Structure 1
Amino acid sequence: MDTRKVAWHEAQWLNEPPRVDIDGEHLVVATASNGDFWRKTSYGFIHDNGHALLAPLPNGSAVEITYEARFEAQFDQAGVMVRVDERTWVKAGVEFADGLPQLGAVATREYSDWSLAPAPDWTGLPITLRASRSGDALTIRARKGEGPWQLVRVTPLAPDAVASAGPFCCSPQRAGLEVRFTRFVVGPADGSLHGGGLP
Structure 2
Amino acid sequence: MSSRDVPWSEGHWSHPPVQVVEDGTSLLVTAREGSDAWRHTSYGFVHDSEHALLAPLPNDAAVEVDVVLDYAEQFDQAGVFLHAAEDHWVKAGVEVSDGVAQLGAVVTRGRSDWSVAPVPDWRGRTVTVRLSRAGDAVTVRARAEGEAFRLVRVLPLDPEAAATAGPFCAAPTRAGLQVRFLAWRTGAPDASLH
TM-score normalised by the shorter chain: which range applies?
Answer: over 0.9
**What is the rounded CA distance, in whole Å, between the counterparts of 2:69 and 2:142 in structure 1?**
15
Q: TM-score when scaled to structure 2?
A: 0.98
Q: 1:94 is matched by which residue type in structure 2?
A: V
| Partner residue in 2 for 1:45 | 45
Give the distance between the partners of 2:8 and 2:50, measured in 1 at CA. 18
Is residue 84 from structure 1 mapped to residue 79 from structure 2 by the alignment?
A: no
Number of residue pairs aligned between Structure 1 and Structure 2: 194
Equivalent residue for 1:173? Answer: 173
Q: Do residues 105 (structure 1) and 105 (structure 2) align?
A: yes
In structure 2, runs of 5+ residues without a counterpart are none
Compute the RMSD of aligned alpha carbons: 1.1
Give the distance between the partners of 1:70 and 1:85, measured in 2 at CA: 30
Corresponding position: 1:154 with 2:162: no
Q: Is the 8 A contact 2:70 2:125 kept in 1?
A: no
* TM-score of the pair, normalised by structure 1: 0.95
How far apart are 1:175 and its partner, in Å? 1.3
1:59 aligns with 2:59: yes
SS in structure 2 opposite 1:9?
Answer: helix
* Structure 1 position 102, deviation (Å): 0.5
Is the partner of 1:121 in helix, strand or coil? helix
What is the CA–CA distance in structure 2 between the aligned matches of 1:16 and 1:68, rounded to whole Å?
20
8 A contact 1:69–1:178 mirrored in 2: no
Instruction: Give the direction of change, closer, same or farther, for the CA distance of 1:117–1:2 in structure 2 (3 Å limit).
Output: closer
Q: Is the 8 A contact 2:69 2:122 kept in 1?
A: no
How far the C-alpha of 1:99 sits from its partner, in A, is 1.5
Deviation at 1:71, TM superposition (A): 2.2
Partner residue in 1 for 2:129: 129
Identity of aligned residues (%): 55
One-letter code aligned to 2:172: P
